[in-house]
Amino acid sequence: MARIVQKYGGTSVGSVERIEHVASRVEKSYTEGNEVVVVVSAMGKSTDQLVELAKAITDSPSKREMDMLLSTGEQVTIALLTLALQKRGIDAVSYTGWQAGIETEDTHGNARITNIDTARIEMELVQKKIVIVAGFQGASRLGNITTLGRGGSDTTAVALAAALEANRCDIYTDVTGVFTTDPRVVKQARKLQAISYDEMLEMANLGAGVLHPRAVEFAKNYQVPLMVASSMVDEIGTMIEEEVTVEQNLVVRGIAFENDVTKVTVSGLPNKIDTLPTLFKALSENNVNVDIIVQNQLDAEHVNVSFSITECIIVETLRALEQVKEELGFTEITHEGELAKVSIVGSGMASNPGVAASMFEVLAQNDIYIKMVSTSEIKVSAVIDEENMVLAVEALHEAFRLAEEVEVVS
Ligand code: ADP
Ligand code: ASP
Ligand code: MG
């Protein structure tokens, strides 16, 4: 007997028929003798629809009420899936996030899980019940309902698997695993047998929406064996684990990308010791999350600083900069939108010089100008025009031979 946490995403529970299908899969795992805890997302696009409803009322909804609203999506699915299991004569029970003991910070929209009290779930498992838990939500110590950020049901599943010391956490979704890049964008994308926690974390942070980054963080920190597989097709998925057998010749394992990037440039900043701290403190105090930062020397006394943000926080960013304009004494703020970030990821990069050079060469051959660059031990990211994003991903996928089946070196 194993203890298994399964998670089914929005598309996989997008209709009554699909919920029935999920129920039959859950029933199968249970009748094989396993203890099963299931985490589900809101049906289909219902979270987006809830966001639209709030927008129809106000442009600036309070974050607390948004969490109250969005958390209802998952509550619908847990009840329906539980009913589908009960109809099959199986003892199942549904739990919202707070009922399942998921405690989070008292912030809204993107709260972190701080603790999980598994007592109630354990009690149900002892009674041989299947427990169905609402993903993406929890409650703070103050008793406020919170949500974990878009895509956060993955994190609920992995965090529960860690807290319950489950043998496995299986993430069932609308693709058959983790691919070399998004298979909905690049036809040649190839499914990976396995990927390391570190590589997956980079991919997720750099825009590969298949897993929520914090889910990968939990999996790594608590060494949860994690698998991504299809909820529809019976096919072995992708394992995410600590050590992965190296695929021959493969320095780059995957390509991630995201659009809606904006580059902001603050020009003519006096080159003083406290310029950068003042500038970035003002941004962080206004909750502006900055990604890539580049500084250029303008003349002996002045520098220009550019940084990238997601497009949706441009208003807050400009407001924060205006607040410190006098204190900093810069001459101008400019910004450029409709950009994208394309990143190549692979742990083999650390010991292989020249990967960045190859990436820049491929982009240049395709007439794609690079606006910003950032690197880490296992990734290189380039900010480019959004209109070139797909071309860049396809060209890099081809150049780094990611579509080719590779021999595994043991
Ligand atoms: P769910 O609702 O099941 O959580 P998501 O839409 O959040 O599903 O995640 C699955 C989607 O992630 C896929 O449909 C695919 O378009 C996208 N995706 C992005 N990058 C990758 C990748 N490298 N491998 C697989 N899927 C990816
Ligand atoms: N329903 C939430 C969302 O759409 C959480 C999730 O699906 O993981 O973002
Ligand atoms: Mg998801």
Return the HEC string of the chain.
CCEEEEEECCHHHCCHHHHHHHHHHHHHHHHCCCEEEEEECCCCCHHHHHHHHHHHHCCCCCHHHHHHHHHHHHHHHHHHHHHHHHHCCCCEEEECCCCCCEEECCCCCCCCEEEECCHHHHHHHHCCCEEEEECCEEEECCCCEEECCCCCHHHHHHHHHHHCCCCEEEEEECCCCCECCCCCCCCCCCECCEEEHHHHHHHHHCCCCCCCHHHHHHHHHCCCCEEEEECCCCCCCEEEECCCCCECCCCCCEEEEEEEEEEEEEEEEECCCCHHHHHHHHHHHCCCCCCCEEEEECCCCEEEEEEEEEHHHHHHHHHHHHHCHHHHCCCEEEEEEEEEEEEEECHHHHHCCCHHHHHHHHHHHCCCCCCEEEEECCEEEEEEEHHHHHHHHHHHHHHCCCCCCCCECC
Which residues make up the CATH 3.40.1160.10 domain(s) of the chain? 3-174
Which residues make up the CATH 3.30.2130.10 domain(s) of the chain? 255-399
Structure tokens of 146?
């919170």
If one looks up domain 255-399 in CATH, what number appears?
A: 3.30.2130.10
Which of 182, 192, 344, 393 is the best mutation target for the ligand 1 pocket, counting ligand atoms within 8 Å of the beta carbon and taking the most? 182
Question: What's the gap in Å between 151 CA and the centre of ligand 3?
Answer: 4
Structure tokens of 111?
């709260």
Cβ 41 under 6 angstroms from ligand 1: yes
Question: What's the gap in Å between 208 CA and the centre of ligand 1?
Answer: 7
Q: Check residue 410 and give its pLDDT.
A: 47
Cβ 388 under 6 angstroms from ligand 2: no
Q: Check residue 408 and give its pLDDT.
A: 58
Contact status, residue 219 vs residue 170, Cβ threshold 8 Å: no
Cβ 97 under 6 angstroms from ligand 2: no
Question: What b/e string do you get for 69-91 counting C-beta neighbours within 10 Å, with b at 16 or more?
Answer: bbbbbbbbbbebbbebbeeeebe
Which of 74, 171, 173, 205 is the best mutation target for the ligand 1 pocket, counting ligand atoms within 8 Å of the beta carbon and taking the most? 173
Cβ 41 under 6 angstroms from ligand 2: yes
Residue of the CA atom closest to atom 6 of ligand 2: 151
Which of 25, 136, 175, 192 is the best mutation target for the ligand 1 pocket, counting ligand atoms within 8 Å of the beta carbon and taking the most? 175
How far apart, in whole angstroms, are the C-alpha atoms of residue 230 and residue 246? 24
Residue of the CA atom closest to atom 4 of ligand 2: 47
Residues 6 or more apart whose Cβ sits within 8 Å of residue 182: 189, 208, 209, 210, 257
Cβ 279 under 6 angstroms from ligand 1: no
pLDDT single digits (tens) 259-281 = 999 999 999 999 999 999 999 99
Cβ 150 under 6 angstroms from ligand 2: yes
Q: Which ligand is nearest to the CA of 149?
A: 2
Placement of tokens 């607040």 in the chain: 323
Single pTM value for the model: 0.94
Question: What's the gap in Å between 79 CA and the centre of ligand 1?
Answer: 25
CATH 3.40.1160.10 fits 3-174, yes or no: yes
Question: What's the gap in Å between 44 CA and the centre of ligand 2?
Answer: 9
Cβ 42 under 6 angstroms from ligand 2: yes
Question: What's the gap in Å between 70 CA and the centre of ligand 3?
Answer: 15
How far apart, in whole angstroms, are the C-alpha atoms of residue 101 and residue 315? 37
How confident is the prediction along the chain (410 residues), in pLDDT tens digits per residue? Answer: 899 999 999 999 999 999 999 999 999 999 999 999 999 999 999 999 999 999 999 999 999 999 999 999 999 999 999 999 999 999 999 999 999 999 999 999 999 999 999 999 999 999 999 999 999 999 999 999 999 999 999 999 999 999 999 999 999 999 999 999 999 999 999 999 999 999 999 999 999 999 999 999 999 999 999 999 999 999 999 999 998 776 655 789 999 999 999 999 999 999 999 999 999 999 999 989 999 999 999 898 999 999 999 999 999 999 999 999 999 999 999 999 999 999 999 988 877 779 999 999 999 999 999 999 999 999 999 999 999 999 999 999 999 999 987 655 54
Residue of the CA atom closest to atom 5 of ligand 1: 210
